Amino acid sequence: MSLLKRLPRGRTLGVAGAVGALVAGGLILAPMMNASAAAGCRVTYTTNQWPGGFTGNVTVTNLGDPISAWTLGWTFGDAGQKVVQGWSATFTQSGSAVTAKSLDYNGNLATNASTSIGFNGSWTGANPTPAAFTLNGVACTGSTGTGSPTPSTQSPSPSKSPSTSPSPSKSPSTSPSNPPPQGTTPLAINGQLHVCGVNLCNQYNRAIQLRGMSTHGIQWFASCLNGSSLDVLANDWKADLLRIAMYVQEQGYETNPSGFTAQVNNYVDLAEARGMYAIIDFHTLTPGDPNYNLDRAKTFFASVAQRNANKKNVIYEIANEPNGVSWQGIKSYAEQVIPVIRAADPDAVVIVGTRGWSSLGVSDGSSEQEIVSNPVNATNIMYTFHFYAASHKDNYRTVVARAARTLPLFVTEFGTVSATGGGALDLSSTGTWLDLLDQNKISYANWTYSDANESSAAFKPGTCAAGSYANTNSLSESGTYLRNRIRTADNFPTS
């Protein structure tokens, strides 16, 4: 699709500050509280590596008396290993020696309590196990377990078909004893999602459809994304999901990786608190070959997957709209990025972009058959389809209707207008599209939950600055239509 989305002008870049960032310079020892109380500890260290880089995951268990703050220390076994970016702690490094200091929320460790931290690193040569872990200066002698590295360049086990299911160890229970939902939000009802056959399925192994909205670029429209606006999306619109569009170029992630990562994580938390699912969208657009951003993707997804691994509301979209690239190139990219996510978050659904601006190849003169014949070698994945109703009509719908019988599809972006993001609305075509998606239980997110000066935006210009999200008079024609469509009952199956 020629999705020539217009970039807003005169917007300032505003992103959240980095968290868990690496402190440059010499070794900085953090103040140690109750150091003598840490009579012992146990550490488990696992890695996921790729050429020139790796992710380290550390779990420490306090075997001594309770402590109210901690500093974990270790020495890398190879002088070429460096911490580049960390999470759930503040990291410092001098030579091969590293310290990780607790943050406000995870400093308390009761006896036998554990906490986990992680980091992305660079390395040259070998990648051996770190030595001499200490907790508040006391050696961790309560046995140090080391997990085997899982190279991200290693292909996952072969998939017999693109219709995939979750790993057996995490399969949802379908027995009568499966407990009822502990709440009424989409997240509370459906829990951890997975792919079953060609459908997105909930914790009861029943096919569901999620309906929601996509942000515009978070570098431009952060004012449209806050507790108040998401309260409206969840409670008035009754949306099931929020897609977080993090551009990689276009003044996005590449300009401040740690800041944008923190901003994405914040939106994940806001969605979770309101019972919505969150799609983390690595919004590649120009250049269209996702392999251009392969290293950035590995770094970003290693970080967000580690940080959000215990959440049930996260879905990973690894490449927004591949264009000017073959399906084989997209497949190669996916098969290198997915293992990085799986190393930290083995159960989450991953969505793979498709050729021709995520048109299943139709906009490039191809079709879904290239994916059916050569699917991504991974499990629990779906494939992206995007449409703009005024530009993409019956010939695209014919392909989607046919593909939905074979491929798990997710419409992570669509517009009520033309592929430029502007122009007149085509609500007739939009309605036909959404009827097709409803019939096939294909989930979708509309572009965009913003007040951009374009007809695809849900709000009129100036709405976000005024904070008038709940005023239906602030909705555009597109926003009014989508709100009415999304807020109809979901009727998620639970048995």
What's the CA gap between 51 and 100, in Å, rounded? 25
Rounded mean pLDDT of 256-260? 94
Domain membership of residue 136 (yes or no) is yes
280 shares its domain with 387 = yes
Domain membership of residue 304 (yes or no) is yes
Residue reference for tokens 């609500």: 427
CATH code for position 107: 2.60.40.290
102 shares its domain with 173 = no
3-state secondary structure string across the chain: CCCCCCCCCCCCCCCCCCCCCEECCCCCCCCCCCHHHCCCEEEEEEEEEECCEEEEEEEEEECCCCECCCEEEEECCCCCCEEEEEECCEEEEECCEEEEECCCCCCCECCCCEEEEEEEEECCCCCCCCEEEEECCEECCCCEEECCCCCCCCCCCCCCCCCCCCCHHHCCCCCCCCCCCCCCCHHHHHCCCEEECCEEECCCCCEECCEEEECCCCCCCHHHCCHHHHHHHHHHCCCCEEEEEEECCCCCHHHCHHHHHHHHHHHHHHHHHCCCEEEEEEECCCCCCHHHHHHHHHHHHHHHHHHHCCCCCEEEECCCCCCCCCHHHHHHHHHHHHHHHHHHCCCCCEEECCHHHHCCCHHHCCCCHHHHHCCCCCCCEEEEEEEECCCCCHHHHHHHHHHCCCCCEEEEEEECCCCCCCCCCCHHHHHHHHHHHHHCCCCEEEECCCCCCCCCCCECCCHHHHCCCCCHHHECHHHHHHHHHHCCCCCCCCC
**pLDDT tens per residue across span 196-208:** 999 999 999 999 9
Domain membership of residue 17 (yes or no) is no
Quick check: 176 pLDDT over 80? no
Domain membership of residue 349 (yes or no) is yes
200 shares its domain with 141 = no
Rounded mean pLDDT of 230-236? 97
Rounded mean pLDDT of 396-410? 96
What's the CA gap between 427 and 373, in Å, rounded? 35
Residues 445/413, Cβ–Cβ less than 8 Å:
yes
Domain membership of residue 12 (yes or no) is no
Q: Can you give the pLDDT at residue 105?
A: 66
Instruction: Judge if the upstream peptide bond of residue 287 is cis by omega within 30 degrees of 0.
Output: yes
Which of 80, 114, 146 terminates a domain? The answer is 146
* Neighbouring C-beta atoms of residue 456, cutoff 10 Å: 29
pLDDT above 70 as % of the chain: 83
Measured between its terminal Cα atoms, the distance across the chain in Å is 39
Q: What are the distances in angstroms from CA 434 to CA 29, 275, 441, 457? A: 57, 23, 10, 18
55 shares its domain with 194 = no
When pLDDT is cut at 50, 70 and 90, the band that residue 48 belongs to is: low
**pLDDT tens per residue across span 263-289:** 999 999 999 999 999 999 999 999 999
Which of 115, 146, 177 terminates a domain? The answer is 146
Domain membership of residue 13 (yes or no) is no
Instruction: Judge if the upstream peptide bond of residue 448 is cis by omega within 30 degrees of 0.
Output: yes
174 shares its domain with 35 = no
CATH code for position 300: 3.20.20.80
142 shares its domain with 265 = no
Q: Among the listed ranges 140-149, 178-187, 248-257, 404-413, which one has the minimum average pLDDT value?
A: 140-149
**Phi and psi at residue 316, in whole multiples of 5°?**
-105, 125
312 shares its domain with 185 = yes
Q: Can you give the pLDDT at residue 125?
A: 66
By CB atoms closer than 10 A (0-12, 13-18, 19+), residue 179 is exposed
Active site residues: 321, 413
Domain membership of residue 28 (yes or no) is yes
- Order across the sheet with 144-146: list the strands: 82-87, 114-122, 53-62, 41-50, 144-146
- Nearest-10 crossing angle of helices 257-273, 294-308: 40
Q: What are the distances in angstroms from CA 294 to CA 189, 301, 349, 464, 487? A: 35, 10, 19, 34, 37
Number of domains in the chain: 2
Q: Among the listed ranges 159-173, 412-426, 459-473, which one has the minimum average pLDDT value?
A: 159-173
Quick check: 300 pLDDT over 60? yes
**pLDDT tens per residue across span 200-232:** 999 999 999 999 999 999 999 999 999 999 999
Mean pLDDT of the chain: 84
Which of 86, 114, 146 terminates a domain? The answer is 146
What's the CA gap between 302 and 421, in Å, rounded? 32
183 shares its domain with 87 = no
- 1 versus 149: which is more confidently predicted? 1
- 132 versus 375: which is more confidently predicted? 375
**pLDDT tens per residue across span 311-344:** 999 999 999 999 999 999 999 999 999 999 999 9
Report which of 191, 166, 200 is spatially closest to residue 408, judged by C-alpha positions: 200
259 shares its domain with 402 = yes
128 shares its domain with 206 = no
243 shares its domain with 370 = yes
- 400 versus 37: which is more confidently predicted? 400
Residues 237/277, Cβ–Cβ less than 8 Å:
no
Residue 308, C-beta contacts closer than 8 angstroms, at least 6 positions apart:
265, 268, 280, 314, 345
Domain span at residue 396?
A: 168-486
Quick check: 151 pLDDT over 90? no
The top-scoring range by mean pLDDT among 79-88, 122-131, 161-170, 208-217 is 208-217
What's the CA gap between 85 and 416, in Å, rounded? 40
**pLDDT tens per residue across span 102-139:** 887 678 888 888 887 878 778 776 666 787 889 998 88
216 shares its domain with 107 = no
Domain membership of residue 276 (yes or no) is yes
Positive/negative CA dihedral, 479, 482, 488, 491: negative
